[in-house]
Structure 1
Amino acid sequence: MSGNAKKDNNYNAFRLSIAPMMDWTDRHCRFLHRQLTQRALLYTEMVVADAIIQGARERLLGFSAEEHPVALQLGGSDPQKLAEAARIGESFGYDEINLNVGCPSDRVQSGTFGACLMKTPELVAECVAAMKQAVKIPVTVKCRIGVDEQDPEVALDALADRVFAAGVDALWVHARKAWLEGLSPKENRDIPPLDYDRVYRLKAKNENRFIGINGGIQTLDEALGHLSHVDGVMLGRAAYHTPGILSEADAALYGEPARDFDFAGLIDAMAAYAARHIEHGGRLAHVTRHMVGLFHGQPGARRFRQILSTDATRPGAGPEVLHKAFAAVELERASRAA
């Protein structure tokens, strides 16, 4: 089912977001993350505009109402197609439409979108303007500081100036260049050096614009440090591989009362969610593959990971596997406390 919960269109509320990550931030991952943080803005994987217009929309765009606030990230470079895809996304109940101007993969380049659009800021602005005209929800852009031999001082300002003039509601900046030739997408996430100061300078020049930062941020303490300079922080792999850190995010970043997180309740919620998914023809592993790092660094984490990696992948596996894995965590905790 598509979502229909009440939305918060005050973009300044989004101090924390979870990055769009291909093959990772599907609806099952987002449901897990929402159990851990009620405040963070969640992003879909990138969905190509053509696929939305021509493809199986419920499969591509369907999500749970519990995921709000959730943003749809689009890939494309044709303003009219992006406008149509944005309209469809809004009709499904998404809280935001985001344009990908940062992905460096070969497949994305061959479609003339993603990071290569850093070279054509005028076209990006046309895309933003078309989407803004098509929908009432916020339209945002996620970009790099530059690509290939571009000077980030020039390239990032050129993009920012044009998209802000076109009415973009927020700009999320991955603080690395992308190298379109010579580096794989994985290498592009690690090898180009991070330049957080470049994003800070952009914010200093655009005091009244929402600018968020992404890239290499591992902890909530690091996130707080960035929030002294920019409006929002986007966590990627840290949120995925160690999702348990999100259980402290609402207190750390939004000032909500600190509390002992109810992980038993989380497991119950995820087991019930997995049961519904299985009833509709899905597999337990579709859900549990996002949970293996939930107790990273805690007693019982290794056993929890082992059970989910083996038992949950077996044919016919049911939600009881989650309870078995969590029981192993509780047993380890009890033995250490004794």
Structure 2
Amino acid sequence: MTTIEKPQEILSLQYLRALAAIGVLLYHRIEIFSIGTHGVDLFFVISGFVMIATTDAKEKTPSAFLLDRIIRVVPMYWLAILAGGLLVLAGIPLHRYETNVVSLISSMLFIPYLNAHGEAWPVILQGWTLNYEMYFYAIFSLILFAPQSLRVWALAACFCVLVALGEAIPSQGAISATYTSPLLLEFLAGTILGRIYGLTLRNVSVLRALIISGLLAAGLFACSYFFGRLAWGGLAVLIVASALTSERLGWVPNIPWLKFLGAASFSIYIFQQLFFTLSGNLFGALTQLSGINFLYLLFWRPMDVVIAAGGGALIYMFIEKPVGRYLKSMRFRDKVVAA
């Protein structure tokens, strides 16, 4: 039986998206913020939550689900790849950006590969997480063929088998390493939270939700004995569950600027490498003009973070939002014409 819930914006998840994106920026520019790299684990858990909660609330066909995800991710990612290529052609080196055809096509199609340095990174380095996201979306779209009550169980079986295969086959290339990674369990954990709380956050009692969330986090902590990174997945589950519970109890205020950063988090995250490069060149030029070595001043790296966050926010406002709105309107128009 399909559950019908009125969709709503979950403020706490937007806030966590914002903190995760800024945390990753801080990690890349200021060494003491090494914990910021685990903003990615938050993103994966949140992604799992959103996918199951939204499809529980409104039934979608696998093709419609995939089209929604493509509209959400592909245009801005391809724009980042294009912008990076233009910088390289203009003589501005971008870290680890490779201009060969295989690297560019593999990156654009979310196919994991090893670059010239032996790293499983696409030309836009942050795109490695999108390789996981799109793989999760592909599998999740197949899960939608199952009855709603069985979907989480089917996903659990699928991901557990894949992770077990990854352990059984130790010698792996970039594709098999990604497609059997223990990080898939973080998406699974998010879907379980999504089923527990639902899109209205009122599916179950607070006490029951907290107990199940605690058990889920404990399971990931136990798995971290074999897969160390999953300890951060367990922490991400506790953070997300705490935030959702707080909102369920009415303790989460509406903070417009933080909500905005959460909405802009994808552009902030995916364009950071480009803005870091532009910022470095800007401060390098100022150094040449003034004779003052800006790259050694204490404020340079914090300013780098501000420039990347601000630049990503501007891209969200003036490109991501209008493009997304246009593509969604075209899709709606196609549905009307087809009807």
Give the TM interval when normalised to the shorter protein. 0.3 to 0.5
The answer to which structure has the higher strand fraction is 1
TM-score using structure 1 length: 0.33
Query: Which of 1 and 2 has higher RCO (CA within 8 Å, sep 6+)?
Result: 2
TM-score, normalised on structure 2?
0.33
